Amino acid sequence: MNTPNKLTVARIIATPLFMAALMIEFPYHYTAALILFAAASLTDMIDGKLARKYNLITDFGKFLDPLADKMLTTAAFLGFIKMDIGWQVTWIAFIVLFREFLISSLRLVVVSSGGRVIAANMWGKAKTVSQMAGIIFALLAYALISDFGLGNPSFVFVCDVIISILFWVSAVLCIISGVIYLLDSKEYIDPSK
């Protein structure tokens, strides 16, 4: 297994640790969750750069890398739903999960039809970066508010507005990237088979 794929596997392993830090209450657990999520997100950037720079791109990596991203971001959105940070998170999580199941299924259909493994395109990468940025900001806000006591109402309000904007931007990018994947793969979609 090459180094980029090892980093992808490390991101998968970090996901339940992040989820535990987010959900289990202990001193500075939001800060721990933020550090774990940010470190795991960093592996996403590093593994892609290494794979491209040293020509280490594999079908395994093309398949596993977006899957690792989905696991990590889905864990965060599910944690935010449990934390009840607002009705919009439930809708955003639905949009994200709907798109991810659709595109993962599409990838399997394309491969089973003799097509190529669909790597992430520019829109898919933008979607992932926007999700990770929104999640990191939300975790930072929760760490500052809950772990470090910066909970004055004005600060909380501003954080809530920024979180909502970042999450809705990521939801829109989810929809756009999903539609583009569907259009790019329409030749492999045959309901008669």
Distance of alpha carbon 45 from alpha carbon 47, whole angstroms: 6
Question: Would you state the CATH architecture of domain 3-188?
Answer: Up-down Bundle (1.20)
**Domain locations in the chain as residue ranges:** 3-188
Mean pLDDT for the stretch of residues 52-64: 87
What pLDDT digit, counting tens, does each position of 135-169 carry? Answer: 999 999 999 999 999 989 999 999 999 999 999 99
